[in-house]
């Protein structure tokens, strides 16, 4: 694995700038967007991806059937407004999803780039640390992390 080298000072500056801009975005959008409790989120019906187009057609045609609309709580203007709101936030969803993917992939890559050589060095140092107390102390945090407790074997059943 070839390590990527990123100037951490420049990265921290970029993160600070991005954090400020994200805070601005959150402040601008917070009055308009919802945050559902987990239980409510789990109970909200999920619309199919082809629903918005069909719902717009229904809203446009609903005025032709007032007797059917009167039998429900249907409000065509409210339905169209909700669909327009979904369309309005779509560009942000794509950008935020891309940003989250970039963050996740960078974290994964950088941790792997740190993990692989550390594991390799630990493997060599572990052998030498048996005779070098100072080295044993240096690798202790990794030794504790890499140590896997052995499973206890169940006693063999006694035969009669």
Structure tokens given for 17: 């700038």
Mean pLDDT confidence for 118-141: 93
Using a cut of 0.85, tell me whether the model's pTM lies above it: no
pLDDT tens digits for range 63-91: 999 999 999 999 999 999 999 999 999 99
Domain boundaries, the chain: 48-146
C-alpha 73/C-alpha 70 separation (Å) is: 7
Determine the Cα–Cα distance for residues 21 and 31; give it in Å rounded to an integer.
17
- pLDDT at residue 156 tops 70: no
pLDDT band at 114 (very low <50, low <70, confident <90, very high): very high
């Amino acid at each position: 694995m070839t390590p990527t080298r990123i100037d951490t000072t420049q990265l921290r500056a970029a993160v600070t700038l991005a954090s400020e801009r994200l805070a601005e975005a959150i402040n601008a959008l917070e009055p308009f967007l919802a945050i559902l409790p987990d239980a409510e989120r789990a109970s909200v019906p999920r619309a199919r991806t082809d629903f918005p187009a069909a719902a717009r057609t229904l809203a446009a045609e609903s005025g032709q059937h007032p007797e059917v609309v009167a039998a429900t709580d249907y409000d065509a203007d409210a339905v169209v407004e909700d669909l327009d709101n979904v369309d309005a936030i779509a560009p942000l969803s794509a950008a935020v999803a891309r940003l989250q993917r970039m963050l996740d992939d960078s974290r994964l890559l950088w941790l792997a780039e740190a993990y692989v050589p550390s594991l390799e060095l630990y493997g060599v140092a572990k052998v030498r640390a048996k005779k070098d107390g100072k080295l044993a102390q240096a690798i202790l945090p990794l030794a504790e992390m890499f140590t896997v407790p052995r499973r206890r074997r169940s006693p063999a059943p006694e035969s009669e």
